[in-house]
Structure 1
Amino acid sequence: MKRKHHRKRLRSALFAPVRSLVVSHISSHPKRSVISITAGLILVWLVVSKSLPYALATSAPDTALALNPNNPVALVAKAEDIREQLLVLTGGAGSGESQGDTASKGDTIAHLPEAEDAGIQQPGSERDALRRKIGRLAVRALANDPLNAKAYRLLAETTDDPDLVRILMREAVKRSRHETVAQFWLLNDSAYQKDFGSALDHADILLRTRPDLSPYVFAYLTAIAEDPAGFSLVVQELAEGPGWRPAFFVALPRSAKQTDTPLKLMTALRGSARPIVSSEIAPYLNALIAKNLIDAAYNAWLQFLPKDELDTLGLLTHANFERDPSGLAFDWQIGRGVNAISEFVPVGPEGERALHVAFGTGRVKFPEVRQTVLLPPGRYRLEGKLRGWITAIRGLRWQLTCASGSRRVLGETDMLIGRSQQWRVFALEADVPQTEECRGQILRFFHDSRSASEELISGEAWVAGLRLERIPDPSAVMQ
């Protein structure tokens, strides 16, 4: 009775100005106005009972339902509001979280924990009442809009029969690929049932429609890849080159439980139409190096090296800068700089190439050039040549450090500074110890500045002809 009285009061308030205008108009034009006023009243009624409820449905569902109790958008919006209350009540979501936020955690009201588990004094009563309200609103919405995807999902979440929940969730995603909660529920259900083909379909849709959920979806993809029954399906999906593939390989080393999972996937893609590329290999190598698994990283890198490079591989990769940097750890890497460049350029008619560095005026951030190397314990000598001119408080250096731990400095050149039109030789010698933190090493070319004032540098220079060799142990030679 109260709800009906509220609707009458609302309609009376909305029609009061119209009623006053109509009476005034009829009194002054009694014969000519009957048809136009009747048409106007019909239009006003249509606006108030049809268009206005849709306009108010999402922002004020109660008002919209007072105007039209069968408006499906308002019914769904009201159900969503109650759903949020239910999730907060049972600890499924914090206040202010959106539907997408709760979906990212897999929160659904289909099988919420009993209220007593969440610390509520009256077990289940309030929870069940809210679920029933949501279910009734969803049924009413479907009666007025059979194609409403959200209504199917809400009804599924208030259903206790797992098989019926699955049917309703599928009906929801049939009607909208953007029904995130249903897609995520079906992804989880398919993965649990080991229906990996369906799970990958739902994962692909989520990654295309809700990329912000990719960390959660990638965790499912990784788990499927680590199951022998799902591995080939993941490879097949990746071989098609989906737009989310690069991001997947970035996340893969963190989400994989088995260290060699990324390597297995990358190796399986090697013969596909879209083989693995350097930017997809790099995150895996970097993750292994960060864990001080230098040997494993080096062996993985070797598997993707072309045969002609394998045949000529030395202690230093591309010592003559003959190939552009691949960006991989055991090849040259060039960092980002400010007001300075580092690049590989030709320097002679014989095809000789060099590392070229150049600086603007003022303070710079030098784009450091580095390469991770794997040197057995022993003594080594790095030699190269440089020409050009460098004006600075402190110059450039080549330096060899341990790859892990405190990055202990093993050896470095004198500062490369001043002017030289002819090539001049520079060198460093270093002893590589047999310690855990020095299982791998980093060779770096950098600006040896220690403060902001020392970042002032100008000029340009070329470096060529690097050679890294092991120095024989004199005692071993004597024996």
Structure 2
Amino acid sequence: MTVEEGRYIPGSVVRAAMLGAALVLGWMSVRVAVQDSVRDADPQLAAQFWPADGASLAALARQRVAAASGDIDDTTRALYRSALVRDPLLADPLALAGVDAAVKGDLRRAERLMMAARDRDPRAPLARFWLLDHFVRTGHYAAALDEVGPAIHLRPEAITAIMTVLTAIAATPDGQKALTVELATRPFWRTAFFQTAANTTSPDVLLALLAPSSSAANSAATGDEQRAVFVAMVNAGDGARAYRAWQQLLPTNYRERAHGIYDGNFGRWPGAKPFNWILAQDEIGSTRMVTAGDLPQATALNVRYFGSTTGVLAEQYVYARSGTYQLRLVARRRTNGATGGRLNMEVRCANGAVIATLPLDPLNTQLRALSTPVTVAPGCEMLRVRLVGTPGEMFSEIEAQVTGVELVPSG
């Protein structure tokens, strides 16, 4: 080698060696790029690049396992073993060895291999889903639940199937215990679980699993969970119990206010639906709770009914013992133009017919008090109080404010 003007000048032999190294590095870069691009789409093609890397051999082995519905023959076994020799740090060959052990009935060895594969690559789907299934089958529910979040992140489309499995776990005492602990940590899939479990799980189990959420009862996710559970209980004829459970999950200073219609002045009180107001924002119209400083109640429901289609603008489930009541409210129009539709506040059995209708008509810009009698028959104690818009002969929009809604015993 020589030094010229302070620069290193390699000799001819060194230059030839450096050129050869550059060519080798270039070929390796091209080979890895090509293999990475075709490995999942065509592992057979990827494996043909010489020398075939471990990941390509493992991908080809995975393809053969999938085509054979989980069976592993000698060729596949040779592929995953060769892959592990080429790249000892790969996770997939270990996972395939785990499948091989499981097929042979050696579940302990299969579990160890799958856990090793998972530890090498936490994003290895085969290891994650196998372990989830394995731990569920063997009753190791806490370990199974540790795999749920990563599995969903890897395959979001699998969430429905996974939630169905968790619903089955909830039906067992040990599974319920493990779920209670896991759900208390508020995993991101918690709401999806309750929405799925509400369809098939007993009210006792659902309420037990909901209980740890009471400290976070104001969160939107918790509200969605409670709503799914309570609606399922109402539909199953257990509405009174659902209502009592909902009351207990309210902040302490609101529990004594939870009798009859809740938040009748639309003051944005905390609490889950359907025992709190469900407001519409759709093609029927829009409703929102607003501050109204010129009203004695100080707050109200601002209603815009577009007048084209009959629909529910606001709704709340209410528990009331059988007997006679008065449905009361105050309302006013917010516009002076002609209107062709109509607003009605109606009361109906939760799963039955309308038992009372209070037309919000006529209305003007001055606040007007309205009322109508309501008779709640035995068997109809769970009610739905709904603000309904119905179109008239003339198509037009109605804008109004409603407040002071209450259902009070007569006499």
Common topology (TM > 0.5): yes
Aligned with 1:357 (options 303, 306, 328): 303
Q: Deviations over 1:265-298 (max 9, x none)?
A: 2213435899983232111111112223222221
Aligned with 1:202 (options 134, 137, 147): 147
Moved more, 181-190 or 325-334: 325-334
Question: Within 1, Cα distance between the matches of 2:139 and 2:40?
Answer: 38
Relative to structure 1, is the Cα distance of residues 364 and 132 closer, same or farther in structure 2, using a 3 angstrom cutoff? same
Larger Rg: 1
Aligned with 1:78 (options 56, 60, 77): 60
Q: Calculate the TM-score normalised by the size of structure 1.
A: 0.70
1:342 Cα shift?
1.5
Report whether the alignment pairs 1:376 with 2:358. Answer: no
Question: In structure 1, what residue type is equivalent to 2:403?
Answer: A
Relative to structure 1, is the Cα distance of residues 457 and 43 closer, same or farther in structure 2, using a 3 angstrom cutoff? same
| Equivalence for 1:142 | 84
Query: Conserved in 2, the CA contact under 8 Å of 1:239 and 1:274?
Result: no
Question: In structure 2, what residue type is equivalent to 1:81?
Answer: Q
Moved more, 145-154 or 340-349: 340-349
Relative to structure 1, is the Cα distance of residues 273 and 235 closer, same or farther in structure 2, using a 3 angstrom cutoff? farther
Percent identity over paired residues: 23
Question: Within 2, Cα distance between the matches of 1:84 and 1:422?
Answer: 72
Spell out the pairing of 1:214-229 with structure 2 (5 A cutoff). Answer: 214-229=159-174
SS at match of 2:182: helix
1:338 Cα shift?
3.7
Relative to structure 1, is the Cα distance of residues 44 and 411 closer, same or farther in structure 2, using a 3 angstrom cutoff? closer
Question: Within 2, Cα distance between the matches of 1:334 and 1:66?
Answer: 61
User: How many residues are aligned here?
Assistant: 390
Q: Could you tell me which runs of 5 or more consecutive residues in structure 2 were left unpaired when the two chains were aligned.
A: 1-15
Spell out the pairing of 1:54-69 with structure 2 (5 A cutoff). Answer: 56-68=38-50
Question: Within 2, Cα distance between the matches of 1:45 and 1:372?
Answer: 70
Relative to structure 1, is the Cα distance of residues 194 and 339 closer, same or farther in structure 2, using a 3 angstrom cutoff? closer
Q: Calculate the TM-score normalised by the size of structure 2.
A: 0.81
Report whether the alignment pairs 1:398 with 2:345. Answer: yes
1:148 Cα shift?
1.6
SS at match of 2:366: strand
| Equivalence for 2:206 | 262
Q: Tell which has more relative contact order, 1 or 2 (C-alpha 8 A, sep 6+).
A: 2
Query: Conserved in 2, the CA contact under 8 Å of 1:396 and 1:446?
Result: yes
Q: Deviations over 1:17-62 (max 9, x none)?
A: xxxxxxxxxxxxxxxxxx69x9599659946994455554444433
Spell out the pairing of 1:115-134 with structure 2 (5 A cutoff). Answer: 131-134=73-76
Spell out the pairing of 1:102-251 with structure 2 (5 A cutoff). Answer: 109=70, 131-159=73-101, 160=104, 161-251=106-196
Relative to structure 1, is the Cα distance of residues 370 and 141 closer, same or farther in structure 2, using a 3 angstrom cutoff? same
Question: In structure 2, what residue type is equivalent to 1:267?
Answer: A
Query: Conserved in 1, the CA contact under 8 Å of 2:47 and 2:60?
Result: no
| Equivalence for 2:387 | 445
1:166 Cα shift?
1.4
Question: In structure 1, what residue type is equivalent to 2:50?
Answer: N
SS at match of 1:262: helix
Q: Where in structure 1 do 4 or more consecutive aligned residues deviate above 6 Å?
A: 272-276, 364-367
Question: In structure 2, what residue type is equivalent to 1:141?
Answer: A
Question: Within 2, Cα distance between the matches of 1:444 and 1:71?
Answer: 66
Cα root mean square deviation, aligned: 3.6
Question: In structure 2, what residue type is equivalent to 1:173?
Answer: R
Question: In structure 1, what residue type is equivalent to 2:299?
Answer: R
Relative to structure 1, is the Cα distance of residues 63 and 266 closer, same or farther in structure 2, using a 3 angstrom cutoff? closer
Question: Within 2, Cα distance between the matches of 1:460 and 1:324?
Answer: 23
| Equivalence for 1:310 | 255
SS at match of 2:365: strand
| Equivalence for 2:265 | 320
Question: Within 2, Cα distance between the matches of 1:49 and 1:441?
Answer: 70
Question: In structure 2, what residue type is equivalent to 1:467?
Answer: E
Aligned with 2:376 (options 427, 432, 443): 432
